[in-house]
Amino acid sequence: MTQIEIQDLTFTYPAGGAPALDRVSLSVEQGEFVTLCGLSGCGKSTLLRLMKPGLFPQGKRSGRVLFSGGELTREPDRDTAARIGFVMQDPDSQTVTDKVWHELAFSCESVGMPQGEIRRRVAEMAGYFGLEELFRRDTETLSGGQKQLLCLASAAALHPELLLLDEPTSQLDPIAAQGFIDAVRRLNRDFGVTVIAAEHRLEELLPISDRVVVMDGGAVLADCPPDMLAERLPAGHPMERALTAAQRVFRLAGGTGKSPVSVREGRSDPLCREYLAHHPEVCGNVRSSPARDGEPLISVSGLYAGWRGSAPEVLTGLSLKLYGGEVYALIGGNGSGKSTLLKAITGILKPLGGRVKLRRGLKTSYLPQNPCMLFTRESVGEEAPAEYLARFGLSGLADRDPLDLSGGERQRLALAKLLSGKPDVLLLDEPTKGMDAAAKREFATMLRELAAEGISTLLVTHDTGLAEECADICALLFDGEIVNEAAPAEMFSGNYFYTTPMSRLARGIIS
Amino acid sequence: MHPAVCFLYLLAVIGVTAFAGDPVTVLISLTGAALLSVLSGGAGAGAYVGIAAAAALANFLFVHNGETVLFFVGNTAFTLEALAYGGLIGAVLAAVCLWGSCAVRFVTSDKYIWLFGRILPAAGLVLSCAVRFIPMFVRRTREFIAVQENSAPSRGTISGYLRAFSASVGYSAEQAMDSALSMRARGYGTSRRSSYSLYRFTLWTAAALALVVLLGGTCAALAAVGAGEFYFYPALSQLRFRPVDTALYCGFGALCLLPSAVILRENIRLKRSRK
């Protein structure tokens, strides 16, 4: 049975220009798990919203969207509100109430369910999603991953038939993201909920999807099972970089037809094994790193830092040195103290012990996890000088409000603003959060260019791919200390979990 | 405890305290409040002693009624009665404040939300959002200020703070639009809201409620028929212990000690179960 059918859908935003969706047709069967992907701005968010009454964007629309055979209306009613669940990107702004239990009950209250029924559903959902421990907590004390899970549970409490996910894991660290994806997969498997998920994280999603839809410029570029995507994606398309490691190797090896998708499939695929054995370079750039000697720009020794009182993030005796012209990437789990370290170096947080020494006259610039914190002006043009805007490809956006920019554009604007202050060192906290594969690639290239100009970077990230691509030296932070510091190639071939999917694929095959 | 019991209890205790005009009732109330405050880990009773002393002193200085003159300054008489009445008013204030501070500790946001949710589900929701938003906004603004002080040249100036504040407001507004979408996505506005609460009205709730109503009602009725009457002017009257007075004092004493007794019993039970 067809769950949702999109016929010849065209959509143009009021600002005009090219249509955001251009004659899109798509049909999804009941119980299917569909991954929707494409670069930022390809129209996947617009498409998802046009499937959810109440979230329709303003603009001109033609074509039809049929849900279980009936046409969807712009305004939501009790029925579609319950039957179509929607989870968005930002865990903070999606959470509405102050208590976990209230957030769980929110959707049930909205459709006017009686108390007794809400009590039962809330209990069931808390149990199913493992939220019992958190049930009476304040929502503010939850991590991003827990908040996203809560949003999913709140939508699931209405027993939806269709779940629409708009980049729900883009703000999460890899472990939390995996937890969320697992929960979605369970809903799909246990209850036959149809899932359409827009995501950049294909490595985790494709192996569990029934189908993948790639969009480009508002049109459907490919619509096929995941194992056919390697063949269907045109050569040189920017989405190439977003493919799973196994698919990338399969393409490099010139394979045709069905490809392996997951790391497991890739490791047992003869073509991939053969290729990897002869091309060890796919696993990492071997960069000639600058010599690490002379006077360090930043030297941290025996640093103790954290939030006094209720402190989950604490550094206990951390030491590191940053030298001129290098990119230093710090990886590690949530709460390992990565952000705390940057805050201690900038002076936002006073160290509880140890020393942070900056070379005399050193100018540092700090990019917080939320780049919006740097914006103080009404328009992009006022935030940074024109030549810096041009360098980051933002010239066309000079009249826009910084808060109206997309996630990737915000990061670029923040960097433009920081660089216009001519710093010696950039301190970046999770700079590629929410960026698509192409933007990440560009970002990595830019950090290398800056390093060549002599601007060093200390980078805190979950993204092992980024670290591998741009860092001269990587460090793994655990339990308040640096447990390992090495060049990326060495680090990622040695690490088992904190490594790139490509290294996991090639482990033991490349000797 | 069920919010209904909490609210009714507070209403009864504070009501009787405020309208009773005799030292014994006020003293009982003060004792009960102080005991509960100590048991629930509250501190800072010093401020309330200060309030009481200030009220007593003010009445003593500015009211000159009463027969028992302590001393004259010029032509003005300073009387014992004025001092005593001031002391009573101070004690009432202190008691009400102490009950209030206990209430803050026990009546958490979800209890208010229950109360408003009963009457107006939308108001309950607004309250719940506000309880979440206000501390978040304060924290976020602090972070904005810290980050911008770190990056901007206008370090520590008023205009720097203002800019950070307005940036935080702008960002919050942006987030609020997202929240609104999230609410719509979860069916907000599609039908008349119902209101869910963790609290269930059980037999125990009914019993506790009945006890509070009984005690509170009796006290109010006794006070209305003139139990515990006491005059300050023109001269202090005698404390009387007729059956009605005694009944009022005992009843109100029981009411005031009720929460402390519940807490004590739980503590004892907890200790036993640990052994």
What's the confidence (pLDDT) of residue A421?
Answer: 87
What's the confidence (pLDDT) of residue B201?
Answer: 85
Q: What angle in degrees, to the nearest 10, is found between the helix axes of A100-110 and A115-128?
A: 130
Residue whose entry in the numeric block shows the structure tokens 């604490």: A314
Domain co-membership, A233 together with A308 = no
Q: Which of B151, B167, B186 sits opposite A110 (nearest CB)?
A: B186
Residue B77, token pair as written in the block: 């008489």
Domain co-membership, A238 together with A303 = no
What's the confidence (pLDDT) of residue A308?
Answer: 60
The CA distance from A365 to the nearest CA of chain B, in Å, is 7
Question: How large is the average pLDDT for residues A70-91?
Answer: 89
Count Cβ atoms below 10 Å from residue A57 Cβ, excluding itself: 13
Question: How large is the average pLDDT for residues A189-216?
Answer: 95
The CA distance from A279 to the nearest CA of chain B, in Å, is 45
Lowest mean pLDDT among A287-296, B34-43, B156-165, B171-180: A287-296
Residue B167 contacts A, CB cutoff 8 Å: yes
Whether B42 shows a pLDDT value over 80: the answer reads: no
> Does A139 sit within 8 Å of B187, measured CB to CB?
no
A330 pLDDT band, cuts 50/70/90, is: very high
Percent of chain B with pLDDT over 70: 96
Residue A70, token pair as written in the block: 């009936």
Whether A442 shows a pLDDT value over 60: the answer reads: yes
The rounded distance, in Å, linking the Cα atoms of A344 and A306 is: 9
Domain co-membership, A318 together with A466 = yes
Lowest mean pLDDT among A146-155, A301-310, A493-502, B22-31: A301-310
**Number of domains forming the structure of chain A:** 2
**Amino acid at the residue A179:** G
Within a domain: A196 = yes
For residue A499, give the CATH number of its domain.
Answer: 3.40.50.300
The rounded distance, in Å, linking the Cα atoms of A273 and A505 is: 9
Which residues in chain B are closer than 8 Å to A105, comparing Cβ atoms?
A: 196
Contact between B23 and B90 under an 8 Å Cβ cutoff? The reply is no
Residue B88 contacts A, CB cutoff 8 Å: no
What's the confidence (pLDDT) of residue A286?
Answer: 65
Whether A329 shows a pLDDT value over 70: the answer reads: yes
A427 pLDDT band, cuts 50/70/90, is: very high
> Does B148 sit within 8 Å of A155, measured CB to CB?
no
Domain co-membership, A80 together with A161 = yes
Q: Mind listing the pLDDT tens digit for each residue in B53-107?
A: 888 888 888 888 888 888 888 888 888 888 888 888 888 988 888 888 888 888 8
Q: Which of A101, A169, A111 lies closest to A135, judged by CA?
A: A101
Alpha helices in A89-173 (DSSP H): 91-94, 100-110, 115-128, 144-156
What's the confidence (pLDDT) of residue A113?
Answer: 92
Whether B1 shows a pLDDT value over 70: the answer reads: yes
Residue B129 contacts A, CB cutoff 8 Å: yes
Contact between A100 and A123 under an 8 Å Cβ cutoff? The reply is no
DSSP label of B275:
-
Positive or negative: CA dihedral B112, B113, B119, B125: positive
Instruction: List strand residue ranges (DSSP E) for chain B, in order.
Output: 69-73, 76-79
> Does A54 sit within 8 Å of B196, measured CB to CB?
no
> Does A418 sit within 8 Å of B196, measured CB to CB?
no
> Any idea where the domains of chain B sit in the sequence?
3-107+241-274, 126-185
What's the confidence (pLDDT) of residue B198?
Answer: 84
A309 pLDDT band, cuts 50/70/90, is: low
The CA distance from A476 to the nearest CA of chain B, in Å, is 26
Q: Give the ipTM of the model, two decimals please.
A: 0.85
The CA distance from B3 to the nearest CA of chain A, in Å, is 16
Domain co-membership, A216 together with A324 = no
A25 pLDDT band, cuts 50/70/90, is: very high
Which residues in chain B are closer than 8 Å to A96, comparing Cβ atoms?
A: 128-129, 132, 179, 182-183
Which residues in chain A are closer than 8 Å to B146, comparing Cβ atoms?
A: 348
Lowest mean pLDDT among A202-211, A285-294, A343-352, A485-494: A285-294
Q: Mind listing the pLDDT tens digit for each residue in A450-470?
A: 999 989 999 999 888 899 889
Contact between A314 and A337 under an 8 Å Cβ cutoff? The reply is yes
> Does A115 sit within 8 Å of B197, measured CB to CB?
yes
Whether A304 shows a pLDDT value over 90: the answer reads: no
Whether B45 shows a pLDDT value over 80: the answer reads: no
Whether A313 shows a pLDDT value over 60: the answer reads: no
How many Cβ pairs within 8 Å bridge chains A and B? 151
Q: Mind listing the pLDDT tens digit for each residue in B257-272?
A: 999 998 899 889 988 8
The CA distance from B158 to the nearest CA of chain A, in Å, is 14
> Does B191 sit within 8 Å of A111, measured CB to CB?
yes
Domain co-membership, A237 together with A305 = no
Q: Could you give the angle at the alpha carbon of B204 between the alpha carbons of B202 and B205, nearest 5°?
A: 65
What's the confidence (pLDDT) of residue A316?
Answer: 85
Lowest mean pLDDT among A52-61, B210-219, B265-274: B265-274
Classify A302 as helix, strand or coil. Answer: strand
What's the confidence (pLDDT) of residue B154?
Answer: 56
The CA distance from A420 to the nearest CA of chain B, in Å, is 11
Instruction: List strand residue ranges (DSSP E) for A146-218, in order.
Output: 162-166, 194-198, 211-216
Most confident of A184-188, A342-346, B31-35: A184-188
Whether B237 shows a pLDDT value over 60: the answer reads: yes
Tell me how far CA of residue A259 lies from CA of A271, A272, A475, B97, in angstroms. Answer: 10, 9, 34, 73
The CA distance from B118 to the nearest CA of chain A, in Å, is 12
Contact between A196 and A28 under an 8 Å Cβ cutoff? The reply is yes
> Does A90 sit within 8 Å of B175, measured CB to CB?
yes
Element holding B257 (H helix, E strand)? helix B243-274
What's the confidence (pLDDT) of residue A312?
Answer: 53
Percent of chain A with pLDDT over 90: 50
The CA distance from B206 to the nearest CA of chain A, in Å, is 19
Within a domain: A193 = yes
Side-chain half-sphere exposure of A281, counting CA atoms within 13 A: 5
Q: Which residues span the domain enclosing A77?
A: 2-243
The rounded distance, in Å, linking the Cα atoms of A21 and A46 is: 8
Q: Mind listing the pLDDT tens digit for each residue in A130-166?
A: 999 999 888 888 888 999 999 999 999 999 999 999 9
Whether B158 shows a pLDDT value over 90: the answer reads: no
Domain co-membership, A66 together with A169 = yes
Which residues in chain B are closer than 8 Å to A78, comparing Cβ atoms?
A: 187, 190-191
Closest residue in chain A to residue B114, using alpha carbons only? A102
Residue B125 contacts A, CB cutoff 8 Å: yes
Which residues in chain A are closer than 8 Å to B131, comparing Cβ atoms?
A: 98
Whether A310 shows a pLDDT value over 70: the answer reads: no
Q: Mind listing the pLDDT tens digit for each residue in A168-190?
A: 998 888 888 999 999 999 999 99
Mutate to test the interface with A, among B182, B193, B197, B201 (most CBs of A within 10 A): B182
Residue B163 contacts A, CB cutoff 8 Å: yes
Classify B76 as helix, strand or coil. Answer: strand
Beta bridge partner(s), residue A26: A6
Within a domain: A7 = yes
Interface subset of B 171-200, CB within 8 angstroms of A: 171, 174-176, 178-179, 181-198
Q: Which of A207, A202, A259, A252 lies closest to A232, judged by CA?
A: A259
pTM of the full predicted structure? 0.84
Beta bridge partner(s), residue A322: A298
